[in-house]
Amino acid sequence: MDLALVLFKRECALVLRKPGDALSAVFFFVLCTTLFALSINPEPQLLRALGPGALWVCALLASLMVVGELFESDWRDGTLEQLLLSPLPLPATVATKALARWLGSALPLVLVSPLLGLQFELSGSALLLLPFTLALGTLALVFVGSIGAALTLGLRSGSMLLSLLLLPLYIPVLIFGALAVAGAQNGSGFEAELSILAALCLLSVFFAPFASAACLELACE
């Protein structure tokens, strides 16, 4: 636990020293949603109907960016090998890094999302719900994504491959996240979708680190 804390502090320090890297995902998210709004007819009716889905797709693509660099720098400078020799079990290492990365890159995205929701004229309850679903969803996406990041570590065209591997696995989170927001938007209820999203999030936070650890060991051979 102590060691996990040390690692966590280092990861946070790295994010804070280079905030630009961490925040690029947020800029991407903001730009992407704006482009979405620009590409369609800005009729309130249409914007409201497309809003939840558009916001979610952009958040999903942004978290793909978050995940891409998860192990890359550690792998390049030899830190990963030293982490393998640390008494901290590898799944805990992965979980700590993913959590720190989520805090550094995905949480800002979650925080700005209500503002972007305004662009799509979402209703009050949908605006409130959007950050919650995004928080749960991006946490699940980052943890599941760590598997893909470990699998493609050090490969040619790794980022292309990463999206090919991860997008099919991201579909459930996308569906339930967008449905929950849409449910709040048209008042048809969102509790069921939100609970399933929370369940997906818990499952991936619990199980994904073990799979990523196995993939990381493989990448370090």
Partner 1 sequence: MKINWFYFSSPPRFYALAGRLSPLFFALALLLATLGLYLGFFVAPTDFQQGEGYRIIFVHVPVSWMSMFIYLVIAFWSAMALVMKTRISMVMAQALVPTGALFTFLSLWTGALWGKPMWGAWWVWDARLTSELILLFLYLALMALRAAIDDERRADRACALFALVGVVNVPVIYFSVKWWNTLHQGASVSLTRAPSMASTMLAGMLVMALAAWAYTIATSLKRARTLLLEREGDSEWARRQLAGDAR
Partner 2 sequence: MFETLDLGCCKGRRTLFSGLGFSLAAGEVLHLSGSNGCGKTSLLRQIAGFAPLQSGQLRWQGQTVDARSLSWRARLAWCTHQPALKDELSVGENIRTSLRLAGVEADDEAIQAALAQWQVAAQWPLAARLLSQGQRRRLALATLSLLSRPLWLLDEPFNALDDAACRQLWQAIHQHAAAGGRVLFTHHAAVAGVRVLALEDFA
Q: How far is the CB of 32 from partner 2 (least distance, A)?
A: 27
Interaction of residue 87 with partner 2, rule CB under 8 A: yes
String of DSSP letters for 44-100: HHHHHHHHHHHHHHHHHHHHHHHHHTTTHHHHHTTHHHHHHTSSS-HHHHHHHHHHH
157 binds, among partner 2, partner 1, none (CB under 5 to 8 A by kind): partner 1
Distance between CA atoms of residues 145 and 57, nearest Å: 15
- Residue 25 CB neighbours (<10 A): 26
Q: Decide if residue 92 touches partner 2 (CB under 8 A).
A: no
89 binds, among partner 2, partner 1, none (CB under 5 to 8 A by kind): partner 2
Nearest by Cα to 51 from 143, 146, 118: 118
Measured CA to CA, the distance from residue 91 to residue 217 in angstroms comes to 11
In the list partner 2, partner 1, none, the entry touching 155 (Cβ below 5 to 8 angstroms by class) is partner 1
In whole angstroms, what is the distance from residue 208 CA to residue 186 CA?
A: 34
Q: If binding is defined by CB under 8 A, does position 82 make contact with partner 2?
A: yes
Q: How far is the CB of 87 from partner 2 (least distance, A)?
A: 4
Among positions 35, 77, 111, 128, the unique one binding partner 2 when judged by CB under 8 A: 77
Alpha-carbon gap, residue 188 to 181, rounded angstroms: 10
Nearer to partner 2, 10 or 48 (CB): 10
Residue with Cβ nearer partner 1 (127 or 166): 166
Closest CA to 133 of 110, 117, 100: 110
Encoding tokens for residue 115?
């503002």
Q: Which phi and psi angles does 60 have, rounded to 5°?
A: -65, -45
Closer residue to partner 1 (CB): 108 or 172 = 172
> Would you count residue 154 as binding partner 2 (CB under 8 A)?
no
Radius of gyration of the chain (CA): 18
> Which member of 29, 132, 176, 190 binds partner 1 (CB under 8 A)?
176
| Contact of residue 220 among partner 2, partner 1, none (CB under 5-8 Å per partner type) | partner 2
Query: Which spans of this chain sit near partner 1 (rule: CB under 8 A)?
Result: 147, 151-152, 155-158, 161, 164-165, 167-169, 171-172, 175-176, 179, 196, 200, 211, 214-215, 218-219, 221
* Residue ranges in contact with partner 2 by CB under 8 A: 3, 6-7, 9-10, 13-14, 17-18, 73, 76-79, 81-89, 217, 220-221
